[in-house]
Amino acid sequence: MAFLSSAILLLGCRTPSLATEAGATGPTDEFPRPGNYDVVQEGSYGRKQTIEPLDVSNSRSFQEFIMRDARHCRDVASSFRDGRFSVRMTCDTPDGDIRDIKEEIYGTYSATSLQITRKTRIFGVETKQIITYILKQQ
């Protein structure tokens, strides 16, 4: 299982053109404000808490952040709108040894928070990671 987790973390996917493949964001969208965030990551490896700086306060930087691992992916379908996002794609490892890995990334966002759920299916096994960002009080 450690190999599987490592393989998933090492996945690299090609970044698609965000302007053409991501849905246009509506005028009611409010992206997370810049600042330090309490971050909780939960998955098959356990739970990890950190504090991280984050600046994804506009549409482009937010979409790039969500799709940062999409370097070797294809069949990308994405939507970023009204405080919700969803990305589905098929990826390969950078060396091409493992192909057709199904990725699904979805969640919600607001001015003070971001929740990302990432599901990966590889060799018939699905893993799930949930990352929650909450803006720290200044």
What does the pLDDT read at residue 125? 94
Instruction: Quick: pLDDT tens for 59-105.
Output: 999 999 999 988 899 999 999 999 999 999 999 999 989 999 999 99
Tell me the DSSP string of the chain: -HHHHHHHHT---PPP-HHHHSPPPPTT--PPPSEEEEEEEEETTEEEEEEEEE---SHHHHHHHHTTT-TTEEEEEEEEETTEEEEEEEE--TTSSS--EEEEEEEEE-SSEEEEEEEEEETTEEEEEEEEEEEPP-
Average pLDDT value over all residues in the chain: 83
What does the pLDDT read at residue 138? 67
**By residue range, what is the domain housing residue 94?**
2-135
Question: What is the tally of structural domains in the chain?
Answer: 1
Higher pLDDT, 101 or 12: 101
